[in-house]
Amino acid sequence: MSELKDCPPLKYYDFKPVDHVKVCPRYTAVLSRSEDDGIGIEELDTLQLELETLLSSASRRLRALEEQRQILTDWQDKKGDKRFLKLGKDPDLAASSRHSKPKKQKLDGKGSHGPGPGPGRPKSKNIQTKVQEFEFEVDPQDIPRNPKNDAPNRFWASVEPYCADITNEEIRVLEELLKPPEDEAEYYKIPALGKHYSQRWAQEDLLEEQREGARANDKKKSMIGPLSELDAKDVDALLKKSESQHEPPEDGCPFGPLTQRLLQALVEENIISPMEDSPIPDIPGKDDGAGTSPRSQGKAFSVPHTRSLEARIREELVSQGLLDSDERQGVGGESEDEVLAELQKRQAELKALTAHNRSRKQELLKLARDEMRKQELRQRVRVADNEVMEAFRRIMAARQKKRTPTKKEKDQAWKALKERESILKLLDG
């Protein structure tokens, strides 16, 4: 019922065609004769009457159709203020409703004094009834309509972004995303270790002391600057010296760290450092370069021997199970190892992740490109559909006119069909 408002006031006439056999017998008889038998003059009158009957029913039909078509056109054109302003059309409606419903009108009741005012009177009467009719139709339907139709529109609007066609812009966005980011390289850099913090702190502490000393002496801040710089260099030299003092074997001793550790562990006192007689007999057989003990300090140390000694000691220790065969970066490198290990772990993760992301983006891009191609094809299918429909309509029109469709039309139809099929095949394949 709410759709009544959408509907123009159409009357769906049931046009009963004039039954020729019953109403126009002479006409039917004449028609069934062949061309050779003529029509007798005496038959003219009856024929005339019958033809007039047919003509009048046909024109009534014509008027009704015209009126309905006009209603449809007018209603489609002006959707807004409908029927209340349709008084201009009402004369048509009134006139034709007169035509189509003669029994309802009392022709006697018109009381026209001539053809002029005659049509005027019934028109006004009909306008009244028509307007009233429409008023009753329109009002109750207006109100429930408004909230009802909103939901589907909102739903479709919300779904729209997901179902819409892919545009070139979106592909461009994807391509941009795929471009390798410039700052990726940074993440993979393993920064240099830089100065060990103990050295740095030592340096800083020394600097501080120097500064304080200088301040104590001079109390001139401006002199601290160059002094401190100078001191920094001195401090470095100092620190290096102190380092070398603290770990003399590193500089002075060519022996590998393992060797030194071993010896240190075996030696009770540092004083007896050169005496390596006691441990060495344990491993004399392996050691060719035993003679490289610091006893013979005068001898130049042959570095390869120390290296092989170191390697052999390590091997032995590993085979004894005393030493793990894993790498050691350095004494103080344990902590750094962790950080470095962590850093490396993270870097590996980042690499894996970025690789994964890239592969997914590329996949997406490929899919998008494929979809675009399919869209194009679909568009072509739509065009081909329209062509097929056109051809169909043309053939139907030809058939309606009772003539067979021309070869041209048939060819067009076939061509359109084949085109459409080929595009569909492309689409599927």
Partner 1 sequence: MQTPKSQSSSPYYRTKLRGLYTTAKADAEAECGILRRALDKIAEIKSLLEERRIAARMAGVYSDTDPPRKTMRRGVLMTLLQQSAMTLPLWIGKPGESPPPLCGAIPASSDYVAKQGDKVAARVKAVDGDEQWILAEVVSYNHSTNKYEVDDIDEEGKERHTLSRRRIIPLPQWKANPETDPEALFSKDQLVLALYPQTTCFYRALIHTPPHRPQDDYSVLFEDTSYADGYSPPLNVAQRYVVACKENKKK
Residue 348 near partner 1 by CB under 8 A: no
Please tell me the distance from the alpha carbon of residue 39 to that of residue 153, in angstroms, as a whole number. 68
Residue 31 binds to partner 1 (criterion: CB under 8 A): no
State how far the alpha carbon of 62 is from the alpha carbons of 104, 125, 156, in Å. 20, 24, 43
Q: Which is nearer to partner 1, 138 or 340 (CB)?
A: 138
For partner 1, the closer CB: 115 or 180: 115
Q: Does 23 bind partner 1 (CB under 8 A)?
A: no
Work out whether 386 is an interface residue with partner 1 (CB under 8 A).
no
Contact call for residue 389 and partner 1 (CB under 8 A): no
Least distance (Å) from partner 1 to the CB of residue 58? 5
Tokens coding 150: 């909103």
Closer to partner 1 by CB, 115 or 429: give it.
115
Where b means 16+ CB within 10 Å and e means fewer, 79-112 reads: eeeebeebeebbbbbbbbbbebeeeebeeeeeee
- Stretch touching partner 1 by CB under 8 A, among 68-76, 184-192, 225-233, 254-262: 68-76
Which lies closer to partner 1 via its Cβ, residue 48 or residue 167?
A: 48
The residue within the footprint of partner 1, chosen from 21, 25, 33, 66 (CB under 8 A), is 66
Residue from 78, 84, 102, 367 that binds partner 1 (CB under 8 A)?
102
- Select from 56-64, 164-172, 223-231, 322-330 the region that touches partner 1 (CB under 8 A): 56-64
For 7, which DSSP code?
A: S
What is the rounded CA–CA span in Å between residue 314 and residue 308? 10
> Of 29, 47, 138, 395, which one interacts with partner 1 (CB under 8 A)?
47
- Of the candidate spans 45-53, 81-89, 193-201, 300-308, the one that interacts with partner 1 by CB under 8 A turns out to be 45-53
Its sign, for the CA torsion 259, 263, 264, 269, is negative
**Out of 20, 26, 82, 98, which residue is the one contacting partner 1 (CB under 8 A)?**
98
The answer to the question of residue 10 lying near partner 1 (CB under 8 A) is yes
Using the rule CB under 8 A, which residue among 55, 223, 311, 353 binds partner 1? 55
Nearest approach, Cβ of residue 410 and partner 1 (Å): 23
- Residues 177, 357 contacting (CB under 8 angstroms): no
Smallest separation, CB 177 to partner 1 (Å):
43
Q: Which of 17, 368, 3 is nearest to 175 (CA)?
A: 368
> Which residue, 129 or 244, is less far from partner 1 as judged by CB?
129
What string marks each residue from 105 to 124 as x (binds partner 1 by CB under 8 A) or -? Answer: x-xx-xxx--x--xx-----
What DSSP letter does each residue of 16-54 carry, written as one string? PPP-HHHH-HHHHHHHHS-SSS---TTHHHHHHHHHHHH
**Which amino acid makes up residue 12?**
Y
Does 25 interact with partner 1 (rule: CB under 8 A)? no
**CA 327, 330, 335 angle in degrees (round to 5)?**
95
Rounded distance, CA 29 to CA 262, Å? 138
C-alpha to C-alpha distance for 138 and 84, rounded to whole angstroms: 10
Among 63, 305, 314, 374, which residue sits at the site for partner 1 (rule: CB under 8 A)? 63
Binder to partner 1 among 29, 49, 275, 395 (CB under 8 A)? 49
Under the binding rule (CB under 8 A), the answer on residue 296 touching partner 1 is no
**Which one of 8-16, 171-179, 206-214, 296-304 is the stretch in contact with partner 1 (CB under 8 A)?**
8-16
Contacting partner 1 (CB under 8 A), which of 21, 52, 356, 421? 52
Enumerate residues 391-410 that contact partner 1 by CB under 8 A.
Answer: 400
* DSSP states of 169-237: HHHHHHHHHHSPPTTHHHHH------S-HHHHHHHHHHHHHHHHHHHHHH--HHHHHHHHHHHHHHHHH
- Identify the residue whose tokens are 């993760």: 349
**Alpha carbon distance 398, 406 (integer Å):** 8
Tokens (6 digits) for 231: 């001191």
Where residue 272 falls (left for φ over 0; alpha for ψ -120 to 50; beta otherwise) is: alpha
Q: Is 91 in the site for partner 1 (CB under 8 A)?
A: no
* Smallest distance from partner 1 to CB 416, Å: 21
Q: Which amino acid is at 146?
A: N
Q: Is 353 in the site for partner 1 (CB under 8 A)?
A: no
Minimum CB–partner distance for residue 62 and partner 1 (Å) = 4
CA angle 415, 421, 424 (to 5 degrees): 140
Query: Residue numbers of the site for partner 1 (CB under 8 A)?
Result: 1, 3-4, 6-8, 10, 12, 41, 44-45, 47-49, 51-56, 58-63, 65-66, 68-69, 72-73, 76, 98-99, 102, 105, 107-108, 110-112, 115, 118-119, 400
